[in-house]
Amino acid sequence: MEEIILNIPKGLTIMVEDESVFLHDALIRRRMWTLKGIRPIVVTTGSHQKTYVFGTITLDGRQLFRQYETFDQYSFIS
């Protein structure tokens, strides 16, 4: 691997890319104290919105992030 990195032609950059999906709704599950016989209420927005973020980092530490409304091959390549 080190040999490949050392022989990268001048002017080219190696980058790695990954994606993340962020939901616009919050559901927190945790233990809590309640009075006996009373059921706790969990508040959510009911939203089904999502944000897709693609991030790239280079060997020299430069970063690029882009946000998309769709998650498909075209947004990944873009």
pLDDT of residue 2: 80
Q: Locate 25 and state its tokens.
A: 């709704």
What pLDDT shows up at residue 36?
Answer: 87
Identify whether the C-beta of residue 52 lies closer than 8 Å to the C-beta of residue 73.
no
Q: 0.85 exceeded by the pTM?
A: no
The reported pLDDT for the residue numbered 52 is 93
**Residue pair 60/51 in contact by the 8 Å Cβ criterion:** no
User: What is the pLDDT tens value at each position of the chain, 78 positions in all?
Assistant: 688 888 888 888 888 999 999 887 766 666 777 888 888 777 777 778 889 999 999 988 999 999 998 888 888 888
